[in-house]
Chain A
Amino acid sequence: MTSYAIRRLLIAAPTLFLIVTLSFFLMHLAPGGPFDDDASLEPEVIANLQAAYDLDKPVAVQYGLYLGKVFRGDFGPSIIYIDRTVTELLTIGLPVSLKLGLSAMTMALVIGGSLGVLAALRQNSSTDYAVMGVAMTGIAVPSFVMAPLMSLLFGVILKVLPVATLEPRGALAEAVPALAPITPYILPVIALALPQIAILARLTRGAMIETLRQNYIRTARAKGLPQRDVVWTHALKAAALPVVSYLGPAAASVVTGSVVIEQIFQLPGMGRFFIQGAINRDYPLVLGIVIVYAVAVILLNLIVDLIYGVLDPKVKVR
């Protein structure tokens, strides 16, 4: 098990390297640079700026310099956020994005999973149809439509929750002061989780229905086990497998979804820095964020694979 984890980490290293290299050359090989749009700058100033960011050197040299710095844990200075290093920006953005992403994933798992199990246990009942209808809507209506509608309803019309601010405003924060610090995150987390709730509900339902048809479930029922034990100890573990294997892709979509959600709710997370950086060609910032996101997703995939190995006796983790 440990050796498997270590081997997977060793595979992760070249993956990360590939990502950094690909992103680096994609950005640098395109014509133009970060200072092109600024017509107010004198040519000498631009030359000085380019020298300061190593942009005057050949791309291959820049690449070498960058890799060297990253190895020492230095992501370099940001270009658009003057006087800030990328590391500083990441320490601002990462906690926000991490809170958002992890809460959304947890919420999606708990709610999506429960809804799916519920629908499967009452297959073809009105509960089942209701859950699947909601799930279909969650898949058809993207989060960037849900988010503005929810902030209109809960923020502007009902004034329950704060919108586009990290200040705890709104009726909920006043009524329950204990919840005040998390109120700014409620709407973004729900908006981010909804599509995943929908997908996970469908996935869990399918897996559960499949599992409940298995012979060993029939055996468990035949020997007189109560429904609760059949579901909890026998069915859930097997039904969890496809759900667990979806968690990797789910993490990737939560990461990409958070970019839009942070934009809509004006949260100072990594997604906003990423878009700002990409539009303004802030090479160090974009690369730094890509690295952090990639590490997060790779780690999560590793964890998912390890869980999978524990859950599925058929998978031999070598």
Chain B
Amino acid sequence: MALFAAQRDAHEALLSDAAALQGRSLWQDAGRRFRANKAAMAGVIVLALITLGAIFAPSLSPYTADDLDWMNISAPPSLENGHWFGTDDTGKDLFVLTWMGARVSLTIGVMTTIVALSIGVAYGATAGYVGGRTDDTMMRFVDVLYALPLLFFIIILVTVFGRNIYLVFLAIGCVEWLTMARIVRGQTLSVKQKEYVEAARACGAGPAAIIGRHVLPNVIGPVIVYVTLLVPTNILVESYLSFLGLGVKEPLTSWGVLISRGANSVETAPHQLLIPATFLAITMFCFNFIGDGLRDALDPKDR
């Protein structure tokens, strides 16, 4: 009897061990790989700090965005007078302006990407799922648009309809969805032909269930990677517009606006260019590192 008891105990020990074990999903694996990537994690932390700064930093300064300090025009950064990043050529505090600019630049990066994401995913998924001639026509249209200097349309839109921040969101988003559409379409096309989709269909799943349950989860990976690369692209596009004097209007400011003003006084007060430019560059670095990290984490076969 004792013999059987020992065997049963061993059995139960095995079972309880197995219960204690947790299966790791693909996402958990990806998360683990991502956290192991130092550059990407540094990117996340710095970006989080910049975001927090954009929210809270302006209120830390003794000045507001409207204060004109006539005693300190184009002053270099200094701890004594409270202009930690110096002032611009109207005596406004650059610390406050830079963080206010961060608000606008980051918001624009995110909002334009949401617009581009919605258009791109809808367009790409439709083309990929429907397939055939519809797909051909739709993607041919994307090819045509792809080759055009679309920024010109943004410039025309913005100059003609006025420099409204919502218009900037929409204009940039409406132009930057092309790559997203291509990625989603390609993924949809390949997922659609997988055996498990066929199996799902055989079990009686409708198109909505198949797209929601099988296609989209498999599309999300590359889309997330592209989104992290699209946000900085769009921040750059806005800076480009602002640099030409076509971006956000006073009293709003963005890094592009500040860089544009700083570029005019680069000979006399280089800090006016360097400070917003550094913030822009750091943000670009962060997003690129995060994007690369995500790509490596989500697509390990590519390494």
Closest B residue to A140 by CB, please name it. Answer: B284
Specify which chain B residues have a CB less than 8 angstroms from the CB of A27 in the assembled complex: 156, 160
B263 touches A255 (CB 8 A): no
B273 touches A26 (CB 8 A): no
- Selecting from B73-81, B105-113, B142-150, the interface stretch reads B142-150
B281 touches A141 (CB 8 A): yes
- Secondary structure at chain A's binding surface: helix, strand, loop or mixed? helix
Q: If the complex has contacts A26-B156, A141-B281, are A275 and B244 also in contact, measured as CB distance less than 8 A?
A: yes
B277 touches A141 (CB 8 A): yes
A145 touches B159 (CB 8 A): no
B285 touches A136 (CB 8 A): yes
- Selecting from B28-36, B60-68, B93-101, B235-243, the interface stretch reads B235-243
Q: How many Å lie between the Cα of A249 and that of B151 in the bound state? A: 12
Specify which chain A residues have a CB less than 8 angstroms from the CB of B159 in the assembled complex: 278-279, 281
Closest B residue to A256 by CB, please name it. Answer: B151
Cβ of A26 to closest chain B Cβ, rounded Å: 5
Query: B259 in the interface, Cβ–Cβ < 8 Å?
Result: yes
Q: How many Å lie between the Cα of A256 and that of B244 in the bound state? A: 11
Q: If the complex has contacts A152-B266, A260-B243, are A145 and B259 also in contact, measured as CB distance less than 8 A?
A: yes
Query: A89 in the interface, Cβ–Cβ < 8 Å?
Result: no
Task: Mark A2-44 against chain B: 1 for CB-CB distance below 8 A, else 0.
Answer: 0000000000000100110011001100100000000000000
Query: B152 in the interface, Cβ–Cβ < 8 Å?
Result: yes
Closest B residue to A26 by CB, please name it. Answer: B156
Q: If the complex has contacts A252-B147, A252-B149, A259-B244, are A145 and B277 also in contact, measured as CB distance less than 8 A?
A: yes
Query: A203 in the interface, Cβ–Cβ < 8 Å?
Result: no
Q: Which of B156, B244, B262 has the most CB of A within 10 A?
A: B156
Q: How many Å lie between the Cα of A260 and that of B243 in the bound state? A: 8
Query: B270 in the interface, Cβ–Cβ < 8 Å?
Result: yes
Interface residues of B in 261-283 (CB under 8 A from A): 262-263, 266-267, 270, 273, 277, 280-282
Q: Which of A140, A156, A253, A301 has the most CB of B within 10 A?
A: A140
Query: A274 in the interface, Cβ–Cβ < 8 Å?
Result: yes
Cβ of B39 to closest chain A Cβ, rounded Å: 10
Closest A residue to B155 by CB, please name it. Answer: A278
Query: A263 in the interface, Cβ–Cβ < 8 Å?
Result: yes
- Selecting from A77-85, A289-297, A308-316, the interface stretch reads A289-297
- Secondary structure at chain B's binding surface: helix, strand, loop or mixed? helix
A293 touches B149 (CB 8 A): yes
Which single member of B157, B243, B270 contacts A26 (CB below 8 Å)?
Answer: B157
A145 touches B280 (CB 8 A): yes
Interface residues of A in 185-225 (CB under 8 A from B): none
How many B residues are at the interface, by size bracket?
35 or more
Closest A residue to B237 by CB, please name it. Answer: A256
Specify which chain B residues have a CB less than 8 angstroms from the CB of A301 in the assembled complex: 147
Query: A264 in the interface, Cβ–Cβ < 8 Å?
Result: yes
B160 touches A26 (CB 8 A): yes
Q: How many Å lie between the Cα of A137 and that of B285 in the bound state? A: 8
A152 touches B152 (CB 8 A): no
Closest A residue to B147 by CB, please name it. Answer: A301
Query: A104 in the interface, Cβ–Cβ < 8 Å?
Result: no
Closest A residue to B243 by CB, please name it. Answer: A144
Specify which chain B residues have a CB less than 8 angstroms from the CB of A177 in the assembled complex: none
Q: If the complex has contacts A149-B273, A256-B149, A260-B243, are A144 and B259 also in contact, measured as CB distance less than 8 A?
A: yes
B288 touches A139 (CB 8 A): yes
Specify which chain B residues have a CB less than 8 angstroms from the CB of A297 in the assembled complex: 147-149
Specify which chain B residues have a CB less than 8 angstroms from the CB of A252 in the assembled complex: 147-150
A136 touches B156 (CB 8 A): no
B236 touches A142 (CB 8 A): yes
Interface residues of A in 130-185 (CB under 8 A from B): 136-137, 139-142, 144-145, 147-149, 151-152, 156
B239 touches A248 (CB 8 A): no
Cβ of A313 to closest chain B Cβ, rounded Å: 22
Query: B56 in the interface, Cβ–Cβ < 8 Å?
Result: no
Query: A235 in the interface, Cβ–Cβ < 8 Å?
Result: no
Query: Considering the complex of A and B, which 10 residue pairs feature the smallest CB-CB distances, nearest first?
Result: A140-B284, A30-B160, A148-B263, A256-B151, A278-B159, A145-B277, A301-B147, A255-B149, A252-B149, A148-B266
Give 8 new A-B contacts, CB below 8 A, not counting A148-B266, A293-B152.
A140-B280, A145-B281, A252-B147, A252-B150, A256-B240, A259-B155, A263-B244, A281-B160
